Amino acid sequence: MRKTLLRLEGLSKSYPGVRANDDISFEIGEGQMHALLGENGAGKSTLVKMIYGLVRPDAGAMTLRGAAYAPSQPSEARRNGVAMVFQHFSLFDALDVAENVALGMENPPPLRDLAARIRTVSEEYGLPLDPSRLVGELSAGERQRVEIVRCLLQDPKLLIMDEPTSVLTPQEVEILFRTLRQLSGEGTAILYISHKLEEIRALCDEATILRGGRKVATCDPREKSARELAELMVGQLLTPPERPERPFGEVVLEVEKLSLKSNNPFGTSLKDISFQLRAGEVLGIAGVAGNGQDELLLMLSGELRAPSPQVRLKGDPVGHLGPNGRRAMGLVAAPEERLGHAAAPDMSLTENALLSASRRKRLERGGFIDWGKTEAFAREVITRFDVRTPGPHVLARALSGGNLQKFVIGREIELDPDVIIVNQPTWGVDAAAAATIRQALLDLAGKGAAVLVISQDLDELLEVADSFAALNEGRLTPVRPAKGLNVEEIGLMMGGAHDMHVAHEAAQ
Partner 1 sequence: MIRLEKRKEPSKFWGIANPFLAVALTMLAGGIMFAALGKDPVVAIRLIFFDPIFSETFGSYSRPQLLIKSAPLILIAVGLAIGFKAGIWNIGAEGQYIMGALFGAGVALAFFPQPGWYIFPLMVIAGAFGGFLWAMIPAILKTRFNTNEILVSLLLVYVAERILAAMALGLMRNPDIPGFPGSRDLRRYEAAHNAELFANTGIHWGVVAALVAVILAYVMMTRHMLGFHVQLAGQAPRAARFGGVSPARLVVICLGISGALAGLAGMFEVSGPGGQVRIEFASGYGFTAIIVAFLGRLNPVGIVLAGLLLGLTYIGGELSQMMLQIPGAAIQVFQGMLLFFLLALDFQTNYRIRLTQGERA
Residues lying near partner 1 in the complex (CB under 8 A) = 56, 72, 301-303, 322-325, 327, 333, 335, 337, 340-347, 351, 354-356, 358, 364, 367-369, 371, 395, 398
Cβ pair 80, 121 in contact under 8 A: no
Residue 355 CB, nearest approach to partner 1 (Å): 5
Report the nearest approach of partner 1 to the CB of residue 430 (Å): 21
Burial class (CB in 10 A: 0-12, 13-18, 19+), 85: buried
Q: Which is nearer to partner 1, 301 or 310 (CB)?
A: 301
CB 337, min distance to partner 1, A: 7
Q: Closest distance between partner 1 and the C-beta of residue 408, in Å?
A: 10
Q: Least distance to partner 1 from the beta carbon of 375, Å?
A: 14
Exposure of 90 in the CB half-sphere (CA atoms within 13 A): 10
Return the number of the residue (183 or 304) whose C-beta is nearest partner 1.
Answer: 304
Please, which residue, 156 or 290, has the CB nearer to partner 1? 290
What H or E segment, with its residue span, contains residue 69?
none
Q: How far is the CB of 317 from partner 1 (least distance, A)?
A: 19
User: 103 vs 328, which CB is nearer to partner 1?
Assistant: 328
What's the burial of 292, exposed, middle or buried (CB within 10 Å: 0-12/13-18/19+)? buried
Q: How far apart are CA 341 and CA 317, in angstroms?
A: 26
Q: Which is nearer to partner 1, 396 or 490 (CB)?
A: 396
CB 343 within 8 A of CB 336: no
Amino acid letter at 45? Answer: S
User: Which of residues 75 and 324 has its CB atom nearest to partner 1 in the complex?
Assistant: 324
How many residues are present in the chain? Answer: 508
94/369 with CB nearer partner 1: 369
DSSP helix/strand/coil, 25? strand
Between 169 and 374, CB nearer to partner 1: 374
Q: Which residues pair with 13 in a beta bridge?
A: 21
Which residues, in sequence order, are bridge partners of residue 207? 35, 219
Exposed/middle/buried for residue 200 (C-beta within 10 Å: 0-12, 13-18, 19+):
buried
Taking the complex as a whole, the smallest distance from the CB of residue 16 to partner 1 amounts, in Å, to: 9
The set of residues, in sequence order, having a beta carbon less than 8 Å from that of 307 and lying 6+ positions away, is 258, 319
Q: How far is 152 from 95, CA to CA, in rounded Å? A: 20
Cβ atoms of residues 111 and 122 within 8 Å? no
Residue 15: strand pairing partners: 18
Closest distance to partner 1 from the beta carbon of 327 (Å): 8
In the complex, the smallest distance separating the C-beta of residue 75 from partner 1, rounded to whole angstroms, is 13
Reference 184, options 35, 320, 47, 398; nearest CA is 35
Kindly tell me which of 136 and 323 has the beta carbon lying closer to partner 1.
323
